[in-house]
């Protein structure tokens, strides 16, 4: 009896591999979704050339459906969430989407979409293949890419990456896309610049710094209002001047992830090699592959209004950009 109990407990605690998980969650979904609902799982190429499996529920007569990335759900399963609960979550989220907008074909006309064209920053080298098919602007070792924002709420962001085919159908060009995004992105996702001390006061248990860290030694976080794809705030008109006025000195820009930038005062005394080592370590240990932005760091001189890229060891990339220069030039 004792051995049987131990065996049953070990079976309960063991985790199945990803392929088996995909098979089981599909079976679980088939048990709860209506018979007229179709299901597909397709590979999708995401940021930084990360391949994810997208599960889609759809009816033939419906306009569009959300994608559910199964790797994310597998991570939840490994943390202890039951497969049936994950299947219920997918179906409930699909129902919520359909209740709000799913039965209506999205209006993809340029006149409708032009007010919702936004930009994001991605790593150029890691997105080499994707960049071949989409309009983009080089920006140091990064690239500015464009999305049509479908919806943004407490559940996240729904967006469509704008490719060359869409841009051609809109009869527009990269210059106009950038100008539209330069107006829309700050309006739709306002900047958020706060010291890490402020964050620590709210989330002291989840941050490495003390809530008692003196403000003058505190790093700053630069992101947007919802913290998603917030590194693009770097491109907002006048943002570096506003940061410089707040700090009153030159500063370093550390690419924490695609979602945020870390701002460090020059007077903190860190050397460039120390900061490059820090960024390299954090990128390998703490940042998901899809959210990686860069191993390089950047330095802003407030009087010269110039950004200088300081490349990681072994990198051949260099660059200096005046703050008032258009990235298209």
Measured between alpha carbons, how far is 144 from 165 in angstroms, rounded to an integer? 18
pLDDT band at 90 (very low <50, low <70, confident <90, very high): very high
pLDDT of 4 reads 42
How are strands ordered across the β-sheet holding 306-310? 191-195, 220-224, 260-265, 251-257, 297-301, 306-310, 320-322
CA atoms within 13 A on the CB side of 324: 4
How confident is the model over 235-264, as pLDDT tens digits? 999 999 999 999 999 999 999 999 999 999
Measured between alpha carbons, how far is 25 from 182 in angstroms, rounded to an integer? 41
Q: Residue 17 corresponds to which tokens in the numbers above?
A: 């591999």
Taking the alpha carbons at both ends of the chain, their separation in whole angstroms is 76
In contact, 253 and 299? CB cutoff 8 Å: yes
pTM to 2 decimal places: 0.82
35 CB neighbour count, 10 Å cutoff: 5
CA atoms within 13 A on the CB side of 105: 5
pLDDT at 17 over 60: yes
Domain boundaries, the chain: 2-102, 110-187, 191-322
């Amino acid at each position: 009896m004792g051995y049987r109990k131990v065996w049953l407990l070990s079976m309960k605690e063991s985790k199945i591999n990803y392929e088996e998980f995909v098979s089981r969650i599909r079976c679980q979904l088939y048990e709860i979704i209506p018979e007229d609902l179709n299901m597909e799982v397709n590979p999708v190429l995401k940021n930084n050339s990360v391949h994810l499996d997208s599960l889609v529920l759809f009816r033939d007569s419906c306009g569009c459906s959300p994608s559910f990335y199964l790797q994310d759900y597998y991570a939840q399963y490994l943390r202890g969430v039951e497969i049936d609960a994950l299947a219920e979550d997918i179906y409930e989220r699909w129902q919520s989407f359909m209740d709000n907008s799913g039965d209506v074909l999205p209006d993809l006309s340029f006149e409708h979409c032009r007010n919702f064209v936004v930009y994001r920053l991605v790593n150029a080298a890691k997105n080499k293949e994707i960049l071949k098919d989409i309009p983009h602007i080089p920006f140091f070792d990064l690239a500015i890419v464009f999305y049509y924002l479908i919806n943004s709420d407490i559940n996240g962001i729904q967006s469509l990456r704008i490719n060359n085919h869409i841009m051609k159908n809109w009869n527009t060009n990269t210059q106009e896309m950038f100008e539209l995004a330069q107006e829309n992105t700050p309006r739709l996702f306002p900047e958020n610049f706060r010291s890490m001390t402020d964050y620590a006061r709210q989330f002291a248990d989840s941050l490495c710094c003390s809530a008692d860290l003196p403000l003058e030694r505190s790093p700053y976080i630069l992101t947007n209002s919802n913290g998603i794809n917030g590194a693009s705030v770097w491109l907002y008109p006048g943002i570096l001047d506003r940061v410089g006025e707040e700090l009153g000195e030159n500063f370093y820009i550390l690419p924490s992830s695609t979602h945020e930038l870390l701002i460090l005062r020059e007077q903190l005394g860190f050397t460039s090699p120390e900061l490059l080592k820090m960024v390299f370590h954090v990128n390998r240990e703490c940042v998901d592959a899809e959210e990686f932005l860069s191993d390089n760091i950047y330095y802003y001189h407030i009087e010269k209004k110039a950004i200088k890229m300081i490349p990681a060891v072994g990198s051949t990339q260099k660059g200096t950009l005046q703050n008032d220069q258009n990235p298209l030039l």
